[in-house]
Amino acid sequence: MSLATSNSKPQARTGGVSALGSKRAVKSAGRAMHKGQQTKATIVDAALGLATQIGIEGISIGALAEVTQMSKSGVFAHFGSREELQISVVREYHNRFEAEVFYPAMQAERGLARLRALFSNWMKRIAIEIDSGCIYISGAVEFDDRPGPVRDALAATVKTWLDAVLRAVKLAQQCGHLRAEVEPSQIVFEIHGLILALHYEARFLKSPGSIDRANRGFENILTRYGSPSFSTATA
């Protein structure tokens, strides 16, 4: 019994030291990973700021190294390629777009109220992007005829957003707020057309009153496709 006890004590102490060392190693690795994620997030944030000014194609490892005060190799190590950096910028822009436009609108009542919330939040973001620039718009100009992973990532995020608008339109139809016989994609096409026209009019042509005209255009769409048994004006 004493032999068993004497044999077990060193094992317990050794195991304790090993476990403590493992915990420290895990914590150290966790801190390093967290720091690495923070650094990568800082780089992506700086890259997104550049992209809104000079476009996604204008982003370079050198420019980011200068902005973030890091070495070129340090910036490169977090992404592996300029292309992957550009894709990360597209994804970050989409994440922010969702956080500002999509998720808050999901709190609205199902149907026309939710569709209105989506459009209203979209317009609020555009009001800012008239000065800062929109990755969806500028990216489409840069990559519309340039196949590759960056274009694919950009197109996928835009389609994801338009699919969300399409679901909102279909839900409004199911709730009896919009006419069921109207093709949902036609309504989305017209709403998206307002947004594209607004960017062109407000950002490029500097036409005054463009935001008001876009809002009136949206109301005209709702009136035109609204269900006769439901008042879109008060929804």
Question: Considering the entire predicted model, what is its pTM?
Answer: 0.80
The candidate with the shortest Cα–Cα distance to 213, out of 202, 227, 229, 225, is 202
Look up the CATH number of domain 1-80: 1.10.10.60
User: Range(s) for CATH 1.10.357.10 in the chain?
Assistant: 81-235
Report, in this order, helix, strand and coil percent for the chain, each rounded to 5.
80, 0, 20
Helix (H) or strand (E) holding 176: none
| Fold type of domain 81-235 | Tetracycline Repressor; domain 2 (1.10.357)
pLDDT attached to residue 230: 74
Q: What pLDDT digit, counting tens, does each position of 70-127 carry?
A: 999 988 899 889 999 999 999 999 999 999 999 999 999 999 999 999 999 999 999 9
pLDDT attached to residue 105: 97
Q: What pLDDT digit, counting tens, does each position of 192-206 carry?
A: 999 999 999 999 999
CA dist 93 and 136 (Å) reads 9
